[in-house]
Amino acid sequence: MKFDLIIRGGNIIDPKSEVHGLRDLGIKGGKIVEVGTDLPGAHAREIWDLAGYSLMPGVIDTHTHVRGPAHRMMAKAGVCTCLDMGAGRSVFEEMPERGCGLNVAALQTIGPFADKTPSNGELDGLVEGALQAGAIGIKLVGGHRPSTPEATAAMIEAGNRAGAYVAFHVGSTETGSNLKGLLEAVQLAGKNHLHIAHVNSYLRGLIKDPVEEVVDGLLSLKGKKNLVSESYLAIINGTGGKVVDGLPQSHVTRNCLRMRGYDPTEAGLEKAIADGYGLVQIEEGGETVMVTGARGVKEWKAKGSDVGMSFPVNVPESTFLCAVKRDESGKFIVDAISTDGGSIPRNVAVENGLTLVRYKALTLDEFVYKASTRGAQMLGLHDKGHLGAGADADITVLDMAHGRAAMTVVGGKVIMAFGIIYGKGGTIITTRKGLPVAKAVGLPALEVNVQEMLLYTKTSE
């Protein structure tokens, strides 16, 4: 057999296929066609000798924000596949120019409805519009821009009625992006299927001790087979700096200011940036970087306050427990490790996940499961999340000595190697209704069935 690529001598970590140890991977047509030893080099167009490195199924990040520099940042962090949480079609329209070869699915934000409950017909139209725009479903951003509890429940119901993906940054006009919002979200979902986004971000100690909040929050998720969830491992959060009528538009930003004693106002936000607490996101060198102090204030004002921002508000105890906590049967309560990154510079799933491995809080197999295998199940990607024969050749190469991704391979093509980006474009993950969008932007598409995703199949586990 003639291979397009042989990856030789890497240490394979594949809990799903139960393959561990030094192996060669033979790749042809974007698929792994042979796993063995001493595959004949004369039968390959390209060979990478990766002795001394470890190979895991490609990282699948189930919570990202794919804007502009995100593609480069994720490829460098070892991400092969991602789910954008809220930008819809605009994600795909940027990919021909800014893409780096990743597989990208997206949700589209709907709402908020802060003073009414929309009709079923109105909501059905919004969900259908999201699917027609190429998204696999919808995102509710209650934590930033809340709807009433009644409207929130109606949006969740509408997504389920359409068989679409439904994710929720928790919070309503009655709660917020905190433990109360998380507990409310579980109740508002009822028996409907729902993805609870970045669980750790609600457990920052806004109501009581953070560890007590984690206990209560994870208890509310335990055993709920209609819910899926993820958490991330970064200290900084992601929010917005936009000010409307003297107040930060995002309720998350207001929370962040209150946490450190700043007024939740325009003046309070400016002072937080000047003091170095508020971090303003700007693009430099094709990637997002953070600036603060006088420069941060200048950039924030220059853009009329409409900038991405971060604050160092995530509690290490919360992120740790959300990543490792299991139920009595040994199953992880929070399904996956994500980043809530992409264009936000916190794509540290590999870096901080391997720290948990070194600390022996997770085994290497468990890290791979939470960073890839479970993500494949969450997105219904049956040929991803493992490295067996017949799998998509999506591979994250780990430099274990330095705790980081050394290479990223997607569909048998090296898109990043040792910090250098080679990939272009990408593949759009969408439903049948979204295929015309992929055609319109000139990119290949991978058609998926949302009903085969963990969101809808977890009840049968």
Nearest to 372 by CA among 112, 111, 55: 55
Both tokens assigned to 182: 């998380």
Structural domains of the chain sorted by starting position, each given as residue range(s) with its CATH number in brackets: 58-235+314-382+426-460 (3.20.20.140), 239-305 (no CATH)
- What pLDDT score was predicted for residue 1? 67
Check if the beta carbon of residue 170 is closer than 8 Å to that of residue 185.
yes
According to DSSP, the residues that pair with 12 across neighbouring strands are: 21, 55
CA dist 236 and 295 (Å) reads 19
Q: Which residues pair with 450 in a beta bridge?
A: none
Cβ 438 vs Cβ 430: under 8 Å:
yes
- Total H helices, total E strands in the chain: 15, 26
Q: How confident is the model at residue 19 (pLDDT cuts 50, 70, 90)?
A: confident
Q: Are 74 and 91 in contact (CB under 8 A)?
A: no
Tell which residue, 200, 216, 218, has the closest CA to residue 208.
216
3-state secondary structure at position 123: helix
pLDDT digits (tens, 9 = 90+) for 152-169: 999 999 999 999 999 999
User: Phi-psi bin for 291: left (phi > 0), alpha (psi -120 to 50), beta?
Assistant: beta
Tell me which H or E stretch contains 236: none
Picking from 370, 289, 411, 452, the residue whose alpha carbon sits closest to that of residue 61 is 370
Q: Which of 383, 406, 447, 451 is nearest to 16 (CA)?
A: 383
**Residue-level pLDDT at 80:** 98
Mean pLDDT within 376-383:
98
Q: Element (H or E) spanning 181, and its range?
A: helix 179-189
Residue 250: band (very low, low, confident or very high) from pLDDT cuts 50, 70, 90: very high
The whole-angstrom separation of Cα 159 and Cα 59 is: 27
The pLDDT, as a whole number, for residue 2 is: 87
Q: Are 375 and 60 in contact (CB under 8 A)?
A: yes
pLDDT digits (tens, 9 = 90+) for 33-51: 999 998 988 878 999 999 9
DSSP state of 58: P
User: In which residue are the tokens 């409409």 written?
Assistant: 306
Phi-psi region of 144 (alpha: psi -120 to 50; beta: other; left: phi over 0): alpha
Enumerate the H helices of 202-348 as residue ranges. 210-221, 251-259, 266-274, 293-302, 316-324
User: Measuring CA to CA, which residue among 214, 196, 240, 200 is closest to residue 352?
Assistant: 200
Q: Tell me: the pLDDT tens digits for 65-115?
A: 999 999 999 999 999 999 999 999 999 999 999 999 999 999 999 999 999
- pLDDT, tens digit, for every residue of 193-229? 999 999 999 999 999 999 999 999 999 999 999 999 9
Per-residue pLDDT at 43: 77
Q: Is-contact 100 416, C-beta < 8 A? A: yes
Q: What is the pTM of this model?
A: 0.97
Structure tokens at 306: 């409409």
- Answer whether residue 125 shows pLDDT above 80: yes
